[in-house]
Chain A
C-alpha cells in the first residue's frame, strides 16, 4: 500500500491525467447537451497532452536550448512538447468544426440537447 502511494506521489501528473481523462470520457458519453459533450472532448484531449508532456519532463532538467559556453547537465525532452503543439492545433480545429455544426443544429432544431433533437427527428420521420 505504502509503495503504491509513494509511486502515486512521484508520478502524480499521470494520476491527474487519468482523472481528467475519466472526467472527459464520462462527460462525452453521459451528457446530452452538445456543448457539454464538446467540453468533455476537450478535457479528454488535455489529459492526453498532460500525459505526453509529463512523459517528456525530467525533474531538474533545464530548458532544451543548447548554450555552448555553459552546458547544463540535464535537459528536458523537447519532442513531446513539440508534438503536443500539433495536438493542440488539431484539437482547436475539431472544436471549431464541432461548434459550427452545433450552430447549424440549433438553427434547424432550436435546441442543443441531443435527446430532444433525436425525439424531434423521429417525429418528423413518423409524421
Chain B
C-alpha cells in the first residue's frame, strides 16, 4: 500500500487537488466541511511535496520519473520530479497551505455570499493542481494545458468579488493572458514541427542536432515563448493587466496570484529555455542578453511605478512587477550562482509577497481603508498583522537574516561572475527603491498618532497563517539549508544538460 502511494506520488500531488476541486461543490451547503477539506488537502500536498523533496535530496540528482498510463517517453507523457520540480512543488505547497488557512476568515464578506465561497475554493484548488503540474511536467503540450488551466482559474479568482471593477480587471486579464497562451502554443508548434517531439528531453536532443538548419524557426519559437510567458508573468512592458487584477481580487487570491501563479509561468519559461533550448543555444541566439536587459528595465520601472501608488494593494502589485524583473534577470545570467539566486529568490518572493498581501488584506478588512496615508498608527492597533508586514518588508528589501537577502546576494554574485556590472548596480538600486516604497508604510503605521477607531487583529486562523508565513521568511533567511541545496542542485542540472 505505502509502496503504491510512494510510486504514484508525483502524479498524486497534481491529481489530488484537481479531484477535490471537482468534488467540493457537492458539499457546498456545509461551509465548515468545505474549508476543512481544502486545508486538509493542502496539508497532504505539503507532506507529499516534502517527502518527494527529501527523496530527491537523498538520491543526489537522480530524478523520479513517472510515465503516465505506463507509456514511456517519447510516446507517453512523462512526469519528472528532479531538483527543480521538487523545489517548486515544495514552494507551491508551503505557500498555498497558509493562504488557504487565511481564507477561512472573512472570505464570505469579501466575495459576497456563501455559495460564491465554494466556487472560490474550487478555483483555488484548480490553480493549485495546475501549478503542481507545472512543477513536475516534462512535456511541452502538457505545459500549454496546465498554463490554460492556471489562467482560467486565475481569471475566475480575480472576478470572484461581486463588483463591476473585478469583472473588468478579469476581462482585461483574460484577453491578454489568452493572447499569451496563443503565443506559447505557437512557440510549442514551431518546436514540434521542427523536432517532432513534445517530450522536453527528446525535443532538446533533436533541436541540438538540427538548429543550424532552421535558425529562423528557432528564433520565432524563442520569441513567441518569451513574449507569451512574459505577458502571463507580467514582465515589465507587458504587465498592464497585473495592477488591476491583483488589487481587485480578494486578498487570499491576490496572495496566491502574486506569490505563486506568476512564478508558475516563470518556471515554465525556465524549463523551456534551459531544458528545451539549453544554455548553449540560448547563448548562441543571445537570448540571455535580452533577458538581462528586460530584467533590469522591469526592476527599475516596476519600483518607480510602485513608489507612485498610494493604494496599499496596488503598491504591492507593482512591486511584484519589479520582483519578476529580478527573476528574469537571473535567468539571463546563465551561470551557477545566478540560477541558484533566481530559484531561491523565486521561493522567497513567493513567501514574502503572499505574507504582505495577506497582511494588507487583514488591514483592509479591519479598517476598510485602502490608502497608505490613511493607515496612521495601525501598528499599535493591529500588532501581529503589522509585525508580519514588517518582517515581509525587511525580507523583500533584502536585509540580512531575512530570505530576500540570500537570493539577492546570489544574484549579485552571479551578475558579477557574468561580467554584468550594470546588472549588479541595478540589483542594489532596486533594493534601495524597494525600501523607499515599503518603509514609509511601516513609518506611517508605527510613528504616527494612534487613531480612535477600534481596529483589531484578525481571528485565530488568520493570525496563524500570517505567523506561519513570517516564520517562513525568517527560516529561509537564517537556515536556508535544504532549500538552497535543492536550488543549487537544480541550477547545476539545468546547466549540465547540454
A contact residues vs B (CB 8 Å cutoff): 21, 24-25, 28, 34, 37-38, 41, 44-45, 48, 51-52, 55, 79-80, 83, 86-87, 90, 93-94, 97-98, 101-102, 104-105, 108-109, 117, 121
Q: Which of A24, A94, A101, A121 contacts B165 (CB 8 A)?
A: A121
Complex: A41 Cα to B433 Cα, angstroms: 38
Complex: A83 Cα to B192 Cα, angstroms: 11
Give the chain A neighbours of B272 by CB distance below 8 A: none
Q: Which of A41, A97, A98 contacts B182 (CB 8 A)?
A: A41
B contact residues vs A (CB 8 Å cutoff): 141, 144-145, 148, 152, 155-156, 159, 164-165, 167-168, 170-171, 174-175, 178-179, 181-182, 185-186, 189, 192-193, 198
B168 near A45: Cβ-Cβ < 8 Å: no
Give the chain B neighbours of A87 by CB distance below 8 A: 144, 185
Q: Kindly report which residue of chain B lies nearest to residue A37, judged by CB atoms.
A: B175
B175 near A38: Cβ-Cβ < 8 Å: yes
Complex: A38 Cα to B144 Cα, angstroms: 20
Give the chain A neighbours of B164 by CB distance below 8 A: 104-105, 108-109, 121
Q: Which secondary structure dominates where chain B touches chain A?
A: helix
B168 near A41: Cβ-Cβ < 8 Å: no
Q: Kindly report which residue of chain B lies nearest to residue A91, judged by CB atoms.
A: B178
Q: Which of A28, A55, A108 contacts B193 (CB 8 A)?
A: A55
Q: Kindly report which residue of chain A lies nearest to residue B184, judged by CB atoms.
A: A48
B171 near A41: Cβ-Cβ < 8 Å: no
With known contacts A41-B182, A44-B179, A83-B141, A101–B192 Cβ distance under 8 A: no
Smallest Cβ distance from B192 to chain A, in angstroms? Answer: 7
B182 near A105: Cβ-Cβ < 8 Å: no
Give the chain B neighbours of A34 by CB distance below 8 A: 171
B192 near A52: Cβ-Cβ < 8 Å: yes
A101 near B152: Cβ-Cβ < 8 Å: no
Give the chain B neighbours of A108 by CB distance below 8 A: 164, 167
Q: Which secondary structure dominates where chain A touches chain B?
A: helix
Smallest Cβ distance from A57 to chain B, in angstroms? Answer: 11
Give the chain A neighbours of B144 by CB distance below 8 A: 87
Complex: A94 Cα to B170 Cα, angstroms: 12
Q: Kindly report which residue of chain B lies nearest to residue A103, judged by CB atoms.
A: B167
Q: Kindly report which residue of chain B lies nearest to residue A96, judged by CB atoms.
A: B152
A48 near B167: Cβ-Cβ < 8 Å: no
Complex: A116 Cα to B184 Cα, angstroms: 31
Complex: A121 Cα to B144 Cα, angstroms: 34
Complex: A47 Cα to B16 Cα, angstroms: 35
Complex: A124 Cα to B234 Cα, angstroms: 27
Give the chain B neighbours of A121 by CB distance below 8 A: 164-165, 168
Give the chain B neighbours of A28 by CB distance below 8 A: 175, 179
B182 near A101: Cβ-Cβ < 8 Å: no
Complex: A24 Cα to B171 Cα, angstroms: 17
Q: Which of B159, B175, B185 contacts A48 (CB 8 A)?
A: B185
17 contacting pairs across A/B (C-beta < 8 A): A24-B182, A28-B175, A41-B182, A48-B182, A51-B186, A51-B189, A51-B193, A86-B145, A87-B144, A94-B178, A97-B155, A97-B156, A98-B171, A98-B178, A104-B167, A105-B164, A108-B164
Q: Which of B141, B175, B186 contacts A98 (CB 8 A)?
A: B175
Complex: A55 Cα to B152 Cα, angstroms: 28
Additional A-B contact list (6), CB under 8 Å, known A41-B182, A109-B164, A121-B165: A48-B185, A90-B148, A94-B152, A104-B159, A104-B167, A121-B168
Smallest Cβ distance from B133 to chain A, in angstroms? Answer: 14
Complex: A86 Cα to B148 Cα, angstroms: 11
Smallest Cβ distance from B141 to chain A, in angstroms? Answer: 6
A102 near B182: Cβ-Cβ < 8 Å: no
Give the chain A neighbours of B175 by CB distance below 8 A: 28, 37-38, 41, 98
